[in-house]
Each structure stands twice: as structure tokens, then as C-alpha cells.
Structure 1
Amino acid sequence: MKAEVGGPAAGRDRRDSRWDAHRRARRAQLVEAAVAAVGRHGAGVGMDEIAAEAGTSKTVVYRHFADRGELHTAVCARVAEQLTGTLRTAVLGAAHPRAMLAAAIEAYLTFLEADPELYRFVVHQHLAPTADGDPITTLADLVGDEAAALVAPALQAAGRDPAAAAPWGHGVVGLVRSAADWWLRADRPMPRDELAAHLTDLAWTGLAGIAPAPRTPEKETP
């Protein structure tokens, strides 16, 4: 027999809906606590420190996240949302494709310099993929897709093939990430804006643009 409208079944649905909202809010609070704990304890932060930052216990944390990997994935999603928003704002303020590229690289480096431990936590945590996939690959894909979507219209307006935006977007993410990793490991041997300029030159012109052209042997006069 079907439950009457407004009867027990409807009441359970409303209660379930309220609990769903509560669980989403609590998960978001725990993600923010994880970010704060990384800032306080570094990229190697443990679940005990994260729980303490949230003012709760590990048992409660594990009610909302199956394991550390799932929490890490949620932190990656939070960082990806913030980073893509930062990149979007920076790129939309530039008029030329090269200026867009420079703005995106500068914004990325500024983002990680402001919180290098959070960057290390997101990028260098070697965790097994979760049901949602590899969090690092997902983060890189999100940033690469965002870069491609922003650059494509500018390439088209400049008379360049907009199809190049996809490999450019994802390729630049790999280029900048690798260089940024070296920069942090080497204790920032050059100022951020100088690194950004070098990476912009390399990404824009390509190796062929900065390497000397091969010399053509002169033909002997008969």
C-alpha cells in the first residue's frame, strides 16, 4: 500500500534531506579543518592533528570520510575550485593570448607560494586512487581544462588554431607544475616573477623559438 501524501514516508524524506544537508556542511567543515591543520603542522599532518583542529575525534572524522584518501580527495577538490577561480580571474584580465598565459602562470605560482605546505599536501601525497579516481590526476585535469577553455577564444581571435588550446592547457600545467616543484625543493633560488617570466617564454615560444636554427652548409661554387 502506498504511503499517504504527508504521511510517515514524506516525514522520513524531509528528515533525510535535513540530515543530507547537515552531512554536507559537516564534511565541508572537516575539509576546512584539514586545510588549517596542514597550515599549522605541514604537509605531513596526521589524522589526529586534523581531528584536533576540527575539535573532534578521528572516529567522528571517519564517519564522514571512509579513509585518509577520501579526505585528501575532498581537499583536492576544494583547492581545485579555489585555484581555477584564481586562474579564471587572472586570465580574464588579460587581452592577448601571451598575456593570458603569463597571467595564468603568475597566478599559479603566487597561489602555491602563498601556501606551499598545502600545495605539497595536495600534489605529493602518495595515496591510492579512490572510487572517484586519482585525486592528483583529477586536479591536474581540472586546471588543464580550465586553462584550455580560457585560452581557446583568444587563440581563435588571434588567427591561431583553437584546437591547440587543449594540449596547450594541459601541457602548460605539467610544465609549470614540474618547474614549481623544483623551485620549492631548491628553496626558491629566484624570485617568483622571474620564474614566471622564464616559464612564459618557454611555453609561448617553445624550444624551437629559443634555440639557434641549424646552419645550412654552404654549397661550393663549381
Structure 2
Amino acid sequence: MKVTRDKRASRWDAHRQERRVALVDAAILAIREHGAGVGMDEVAAQAATSKTVVYRHFATRTLLYVAVCARVADVLLGQIREAVTGAAGPRDQVAAGIEAYLRLIEHDPEVYRFVVHRPLVDRPLVDTATGHGPDPAPEPDPVADLVTVIGDEAAAVIAEQLRRTGAATVAAVPWGHGLVGLVRGAADNWLVRPAGMTRAELATHLTDLAWAGISGVLAASEEQS
């Protein structure tokens, strides 16, 4: 027996989704204004509503945090993919990806700190890549998921270059994720201790180091093939 939902219920679904999007927008604006340590009071005030209404759409602070992270992830991944796709060659792809990551940090430092420092998280998160976390599993860890996706993107670029040399691509995954770890670690340190270094200078330093390693193993693969 096929059950048809009342059209009014469907309209309410759309309304709730629109309201959730608006609350995430308000949360990001509140983070920019009040910093990464923003609380639910500031989010509600930015949305011109009450905490009760916010909790009606996001039952816990953690769920709102996860929604903000999802928005940031969509923006960052889109920018990285666009930058890498428009690059002329493998070194330019590495440089473009690093530059896109650093650009978001420089443009939205408090939002980045919010994502990394998790001020609204009130319950454990599980790393979906490793399965590590409490049982029963709560919300997936959006930061771990984002790092995994970016690492896989980097691995795909490296694997393509290895295939062109006729070499095995098995090392592409650890190299790709190692590259992401390198950039993230240096970027986090730069955000806390910029030491007068510009984004462009940091991007150049990281590209030089990353490409020295990648080009070296690619050259070695060519010699062995």
C-alpha cells in the first residue's frame, strides 16, 4: 500500500530546511563577530531568535557545530577542486591546492578556529575513517572527514602522475595524506604565530617543500620503470 504524504508536511520540510540554512548562516556571522569561542546566546541573537528556536532545529550544540563544519567543508573543497582543476601542471596543482587552503584560513580565521577548536561540541565525535569513538556512535567527526576527503584528493593527483611514469600507485594514498598533514600543521602554526609571514610566502615555502618530495619520488619511479 503506497502512502502519500500530505503536501502541507512537505512544505514544512522545505521550511525547516530553509530555517536550518538560515541558522547556519547566522552562526557563521556570529563566529566572525564574536570569535571562535562563540556561544549559543550569540548565535540566537545573530539570528534574531531565541535559543529555544535554535535547539528546535539543532537538538544539541554538537549538531549545530557539525552543520557549520559541513558548510565550511563544502566551500573549502569547492575552492580546492576549482583551483587544482584550473592549474597547468602537477606542481601548479600542488601550489593551487595549498594556496586555496591558506586563503580560506586568512579570510575566515575565526571560522577556521571554530571548526578546529570545537567550542560548541558537547559530546564525543567518531572518526568515520577509523571507526574510533564511543559506542553507540554519535555524530561523525566533520574535521576528520574533511581531512580524509582532502587527503584523498591529493592522493588522486599524485596517483595520476605515478601512472604517467608507469609506476605503481600504492604509495599515492600515504603521500597524499602526508601532504595534507604537512600543510595543515604549518597552517595551524602560522595562524597562531604568523611571525610577519604573508600567506603568499607561506604558500611558496610549503609548495617548495611538498614539490621537492613529490618530484623526487616521481623521478625515482621513472628511473625504476
TM over 0.5: yes
- Cα deviation for residue 92 of structure 1 reads 0.8
Q: Is 1:153 matched up with 2:160? A: yes
Aligned to 1:180: 187
Aligned to 1:47: 40
Q: Is 1:81 matched up with 2:74? A: yes
Please tell me whether the aligned partners of residues 84 and 146 of structure 1 are also in contact (alpha carbons under 8 angstroms): no
Secondary structure at the counterpart of residue 6 of structure 2: helix
Secondary structure at the counterpart of residue 38 of structure 2: coil
Q: Which moved more, 1:142-151 or 1:48-57?
A: 142-151
Aligned to 1:70: 63
Aligned residues: 201
Q: Is 1:104 matched up with 2:100? A: no
Aligned to 1:171: 178
Please provide the CA RMSD for this pair. 2.2
Asked which structure has the greater CA Rg, the reply is 1
- Cα deviation for residue 166 of structure 1 reads 2.3
Secondary structure at the counterpart of residue 189 of structure 1: coil
Relative to structure 1, the CA distance from residue 122 to residue 168 in structure 2 (aligned partners, 3 Å threshold; closer, same or farther) is same
Aligned to 1:120: 113
Please tell me whether the aligned partners of residues 38 and 45 of structure 1 are also in contact (alpha carbons under 8 angstroms): yes
TM-score after normalising by structure 2 = 0.80
C-alpha separation between the residues in 2 aligned to 1:152 and 1:21? 41
C-alpha separation between the residues in 2 aligned to 1:151 and 1:83? 20
Deviations 1:172-203 (A, max 9, x none): 22111110111011135311111111111222
Which structure 2 segments of 5+ residues have no match?
A: 127-137, 217-225
Which structure 1 segments of 5+ residues have no match?
A: 210-222
TM-score after normalising by structure 1 = 0.81
- Cα deviation for residue 108 of structure 1 reads 0.6
C-alpha separation between the residues in 2 aligned to 1:191 and 1:159? 38
Aligned to 2:221: none
Alignment partner for residue 197 of structure 1, among 181, 192, 204?
Answer: 204
Secondary structure at the counterpart of residue 66 of structure 1: coil
Deviations 1:72-116 (A, max 9, x none): 111111000000000011101112212111110011111110110
C-alpha separation between the residues in 1 aligned to 2:205 and 2:91? 13
Secondary structure at the counterpart of residue 43 of structure 1: coil
- Cα deviation for residue 14 of structure 1 reads 2.3
Q: Which moved more, 1:195-204 or 1:149-158?
A: 149-158
